[in-house]
Amino acid sequence: MAGVRLVITAASQAWADIAAREFCGNASSVIGCDAEASIERAVSADETPDGRPGVHVLAFAFDAKKLEKAVQSRVGQNVLTCPTTACYDGLESELQSSRISVGGGLRFFGDGLQSSKKLGDRRFWRVPVMDGEFVCEDRFGVAKSVGGGNLLLCGVNVEQTLAAAEAAVAAIAEADGCILPFPGGIVRAGSKVGSKYGKLPASTNEAYCPGVRALTETSLPENCQCVYELVIDGVSFEAVQAGMRAGLHAACETEGLLRVTAGNYGGKLGKHHFHLRDLL
């Protein structure tokens, strides 16, 4: 995948959080969304370009062109419109393989009254808005990224399996460079590639659905009544691997798990493989 890190700042942490959450709306899976996105972490004023509190957001799409369209649209609709915000490129230069236009596309909202400012080799656009100006960096770096790292947690019941998944989410949140794009970081509707219905690129992963184990081939261990999946995207192979390792160990410290495994799609989703045994 192609990935980008945005630094969204505002006059307060609360408004930066609001803008980041709105940016990440409807961004769980590229199966049905234009991007996969989530908050990476909050950042303090001394970590941002304009000395204000902010949030790091990671967003991913299949390629840089699709990522540019998704990021421009989401920043324009949900960050530019949010009180006091600004938006900057936050990706380390050594990870950048290409660049996309963000502020360079949104500047036209200024209707000819926009202006630019260059600091070193970075250009910023200043777009007039009703509480002052919206500042957005012209171009954002893109990393050759990895999407779809995953863990499948098989447990004895919903309560204990959910507790294991929540523990894993908390541990993965401490890892840099990766996110869990699904709601709360947890997937109840895991999917497989393809469907009996030709128009669908993906469909329910029935091998891990307890309710139909008598009707189809199952991969569930005995007494398993619940499975939750964690899907991890990252700006590098190492970032996804670190997130998966943290989640695996945290989940296994809880009660009620019968098995931890992962989806294997026969290479249909890309060349990268994360062997769980290596994460031990």
Q: Tokens in use for 258?
A: 């019968």
* Same domain membership, residue 150 and residue 139: no
Domain tally, the chain? 2
Q: What is the pLDDT of residue 270?
A: 78
* Same domain membership, residue 200 and residue 80: no
CB 3 within 8 A of CB 100: no
Q: Is 175 helix (H, G, I), strand (E, B) or coil?
A: coil
Count the neighbouring beta carbons within 10 Å of the beta carbon of residue 266. Answer: 6
Q: What phi, psi does 208 have (nearest 5°)?
A: -120, 20
What letter represents residue 242's amino acid?
A
Q: Tokens in use for 31?
A: 């199966």
Q: What phi, psi does 171 have (nearest 5°)?
A: -70, -40
Residue with structure tokens 């709306």?
25
Q: What is the pLDDT of residue 156?
A: 98
pLDDT tens, residue by residue, 29-80:
999 999 999 999 999 999 999 999 999 999 999 999 999 999 999 999 999 9
According to DSSP H, which parts of the chain are helical? 13-23, 64-78, 103-106, 158-172, 237-252
* Same domain membership, residue 155 and residue 126: no
Q: What is the pLDDT of residue 65?
A: 98
Taking 50 as the pLDDT cut, the residues of the chain under it are none
Q: Is 190 helix (H, G, I), strand (E, B) or coil?
A: coil
Q: Give DSSP secondary structure letters for 208-246.
A: G-GGGTTTS---PPTT--EEEEEEEEESSHHHHHHHHHH
Q: What is the pLDDT of residue 223?
A: 96
CA distance 155 to 134: 48
* Same domain membership, residue 152 and residue 259: yes
This model's pTM is above 0.85:
yes
* Same domain membership, residue 107 and residue 230: no
Domain that holds residue 94: 2-144
* Same domain membership, residue 188 and residue 127: no
What letter represents residue 81's amino acid?
T
Count the neighbouring beta carbons within 10 Å of the beta carbon of residue 84. Answer: 16
CATH, residue 118: 3.30.70.520
Q: What is the pLDDT of residue 197?
A: 95
* Same domain membership, residue 163 and residue 140: no
Q: Tokens in use for 6?
A: 């945005």
Residues contacting 48, CB < 8 A, separation 6+: 7, 9, 54, 88
